[in-house]
Structure 1
Amino acid sequence: MQGHRSVLARVSPLLLGLALWSAAEEYDYYTWQADNFQNGRFYAKQSQCVDIPADLHLCHNVGYKKMRLPNLLEHESMPEVKQQAGSWVPLLAKRCHTDTQVFLCSLFAPVCLERPIYPCRSLCEVVRASCAPVMESYGFPWPEMLDCNKFPLDNDLCITVQFGTKQVTAPPVTKICTQCEIEQKPETMRVQLCASDFVLKMRIKEMKIEKGDRKLIAAQKKKKVLKAGKLKRKEFRKLILYIKNAAGCPCPQLDNLSGNFLIMGRKVDNRLLLTAIYKWDKRSKEMKYAVNFMFSYPCSDTISHSAGPHLGSFH
């Protein structure tokens, strides 16, 4: 028991323990029972210690090599884990808290010890305090599956806060609208494209301020639907997009409304929310790669639209 306490106290001893554990082949397969506090259940499938695959982007660089499957969110296969975890990848890039990956991966890709190790309630609470406001700017509430009250109070057998209670970086003096904080990199755009409900190439006719949001009215002509998702054709005819809580923050991409834009978004409560915006640049290799990827590879193989909050614009 004392050995486990030292392992769980900090990340580095935890990783050392995992390295020793994964080196012992006879411990790679064993059965276990989930804890009661989250309405634990018996798994029909025998628990395994498996390698964290490189394409599990949420956790492939978390610092240890093997994970427990089924995981602590009741995902019993690796394809299901990848689908469900994929939508959370952009939240890491948003860097809302230093412990975001530790918290999420403790559930999606839990460490392989002799019993399930859950995150402590305090870890959940500090991540929620920093990241929930970012999620809410896109119309996402903190999800029920991550209700902090479900997790145990701090003890020696749960994962506590690792890197402190502050954000990764201090906020800039002038905060750009969250939806406009964009790095035009192929991997960033690929994740955004797959996590969005719809993707458009369009011109903007007019921009207004309405109840704290920016309201974008699309030009009727020269509008191309790159990804329709579940939206109906009539919803694209007279297109109005909203940038939530963006009335008072700058969005450099919208300083000049001329030309085409690459728009990504989601449908929330019958409103179309813009979640990412790029100035269209046909000479951009990154943009060409991302758009070609969308038509060449099915997003269902990488990012599931039913998984998590679809935070596809947090880069």
Structure 2
Amino acid sequence: MKSLASLLLWRLIALLMPLVSLGQTSEYEYLSWKSDLYNSGRIYDKPPQCVKIPDDLKLCHNVGYNEMLLPNLLEHETMAEVKQQAGSWVPLVHKNCHPGTQVFLCSLFAPVCLERPIYPCRWLCENVRDGCTPIMEAFGFPWPEMLTCEKFPQDDVCISAPNTTEASKPIGFSPVCPPCDNEMKMDAILENMCASEFAIKTKIKEVKRENVDRKVILQKRKKPVKLGTLMKEDMKKLTLYLKNGADCPCAQLENLGNTYLIMGRKVDNQYLLTGIHKWDKSSKEFKKTLKKLKSHKCPAYENVFK
């Protein structure tokens, strides 16, 4: 047992340092693909296989290793399922809400190949959750049940992330409201579109502060780009809310003369503003995006964040 534990630790150090945090380790053998950290305690029909991380698994590009275990630690048994579910998290990584976000997510979606599964450290989960939840809530998504931090180890060998200490922000610093902090690039617009239930072309009539939110009143003339669950009769009287956006900067809401591509989602009884891009037909990138929208397939956000 001791020789096996020693071998495991040396392999961990060689493959994952400085990603692996060594706590008070226990000695164990890798007996099956079963985790008592998860309530399901599921055992798979096939043993885990070590496979190459595919090029189109964008979430885990440049994560520090090239091969992953399948099934993974989130009970995804096929690569198609991994790619579909992982794609929902790519926009969050791009928001840079915490420097350890990609390492945390990829340790679950694309775990490194070892004799036994190594889970992310609980403190890493908690730090990523605390840093990213405000941004997720701005888009109407809760922190999902499958990532409950209490499931992860704190006194065992676990995955951590290097250089996760953020520099102190200056006093008075107010980050841009997440739905307003976007680029006029095709990938960024498509990511926003996929995170939204509907999208329309319109102008803004008025913006009001309402408690901790901002109320965005649209002009009557609206052209649907993607209706989703939004009914045409709802679109006529559509009012959007910028969640927790009363004090964060949003340059788009200060330029009411422009026409915008406005995106949103219905959460409870409110329509949340999830993205706002200037409608700029003179931009080749924007025109290319509008064309791409017709055939673009989005990941299954609803399956992930329920």
TM-score interval, normalised by the smaller of the two chains:
0.7 to 0.9
Distance (whole Å) between structure 1 residues aligned to residue 261 and residue 123 of structure 2: 40
* Alignment match, 1:173: 173
Contact 2:218 2:239 in 1 (8 A): yes
TM-score, scaled to structure 1: 0.84
**Structure showing greater relative contact order (alpha-carbon pairs closer than 8 Å, 6 or more residues apart):** 1
1:238 aligns with 2:237: yes
Q: Kindly report which structure 2 residues correspond to 1:129-278, keeping only aligned pairs within 5 A, or say none.
A: 129-155=130-156, 157-166=157-166, 170=169, 173-221=173-221, 223-278=222-277
Distance (whole Å) between structure 2 residues aligned to residue 2 and residue 240 of structure 1: 61
Identity %: 53
1:4 Cα deviation from its structure 2 partner: 2.7
1:11 Cα deviation from its structure 2 partner: 6.7
Contact 2:240 2:273 in 1 (8 A): yes
Q: Which amino acid aligns with 1:141?
A: P
SS of corresponding position for 1:188: helix
Distance (whole Å) between structure 2 residues aligned to residue 8 and residue 192 of structure 1: 37
Distance (whole Å) between structure 1 residues aligned to residue 192 and residue 15 of structure 2: 30
1:108 Cα deviation from its structure 2 partner: 0.7
Distance (whole Å) between structure 1 residues aligned to residue 33 and residue 122 of structure 2: 20
Contact 1:97 1:127 in 2 (8 A): yes
Contact 1:197 1:305 in 2 (8 A): no
1:174 Cα deviation from its structure 2 partner: 4.0
- CA-atom RMSD in angstroms: 2.4
Q: Which amino acid aligns with 2:154?
A: L
Q: Which amino acid aligns with 1:224?
A: K
Q: Which deviations, in whole Å up to 9, do the C-alpha atoms of 1:233-280 show, x marking residues without a partner?
A: 222121111111111222111212113101112111021101111111
Contact 2:140 2:265 in 1 (8 A): no
Distance (whole Å) between structure 2 residues aligned to residue 58 and residue 6 of structure 1: 27
1:101 Cα deviation from its structure 2 partner: 0.5
Q: Which amino acid aligns with 1:216?
A: V
* Alignment match, 1:92: 93
Contact 1:253 1:277 in 2 (8 A): yes
1:287 aligns with 2:286: yes
* Alignment match, 1:18: none
Contact 2:199 2:225 in 1 (8 A): yes
